[in-house]
Amino acid sequence: MAESGIDISAHQKDRLDVRAVRAESRFIAVKQTEGLTWPEVDDPAAADLLRRWRAEAQDGAFEVIILYHYLRPQPGRTGTQEADHLIDFVGDLEANEAVAIDDEWDGATRGGEHEDFVVEFIDRIEQRFPDRAGKILYYSSPAYLTSVSTERVVDRSPCGSPRTGPMMVSRKRMRSASTGGRRTGACCGSSPRQPRSLLASQVPIRPASTSTSA
């Protein structure tokens, strides 16, 4: 089952109206952090922009707002450290906000060390936001998944399956005419015979009209 939404990051600069996206999308993915220092240390202007877009997404009443972190798995750091960076940046989650991992960095460690990093990240996020346990989403691409170990990640992703892998989103390099953001197709399925949609995978996250802190 596929649904479409918009994936936006600081690459879009200040050129889009997030609320205008709502007319064509039920969900929106907004990048929040990357590695250990982006954006607050590396690009403070981007930090302000992403916070504003997150607030505008709430005003737009999206059914699900995905806040994602771009992983940089490498020697000398842990998945827990990168998860803490995301946690510190986003603070509390609203009821309709989901957390996702964007795992496609070319410089990433490979093999078991890579998967340890991803699992540590998920463990820390679920520890901080226990009501999101089993709901941490996973971005990647088919080409990237051929080069990394993801077997344990499959079991942790609400859209993963042994057949399709843990990939929640297959990024389509298509521009949205109204926003300039990238169209994003979701998602694979919870099993080969029982596809689950992105929005269904986030139940019981409540509609945007009933907002709470985690």
157: in domain: yes
Confidence (pLDDT) at 37: 94
Residue whose entry in the numeric block shows the structure tokens 């499959």: 154
Residue 37 lies in a domain: yes
Q: Which amino acid is at 43?
A: D
Strand 169-175 versus strand 182-186 pairing type? antiparallel
- Asked if residue 195 belongs to a domain, the reply is yes
Category of 61 on φ-ψ map: left (φ > 0), alpha (ψ -120 to 50) or beta: left
pLDDT of the residue at 199 = 57
Query: Does residue 211 sit within a domain?
Result: no
Question: What is the number of other CB atoms lying within 10 angstroms of the CB of residue 121?
Answer: 26
Would you state the pLDDT for residue 145? 75
Does residue 214 lie in a domain region?
no
Mean pLDDT split into 10-residue runs, the chain, 214 residues: 70 75 80 95 91 89 88 95 97 92 88 91 95 84 75 70 43 38 39 43 43 29
- What confidence score (pLDDT) does residue 150 get? 75
Residue-level pLDDT at 62? 85
Domain-located, residue 206: no
| Residue at 58 is within a domain | yes
Q: What is the domain extent for residue 161?
A: 3-201
Q: How many domains does the chain have?
A: 1
The helix-helix angle for 111-128 and 79-90 (nearest 10°) equals 30
> Distance between CA 118 and CA 153 in Å, rounded?
7
Which two three-digit tokens encode residue 169?
Answer: 């989103």
Phi-psi region of 76 (alpha: psi -120 to 50; beta: other; left: phi over 0): left
Please list the residues that pair with 97 across neighbouring strands: 65
Q: pLDDT value at position 171?
A: 40
| 89 in any annotated domain | yes
CATH number at residue 135: 3.20.20.80
3-state secondary structure of 165: strand
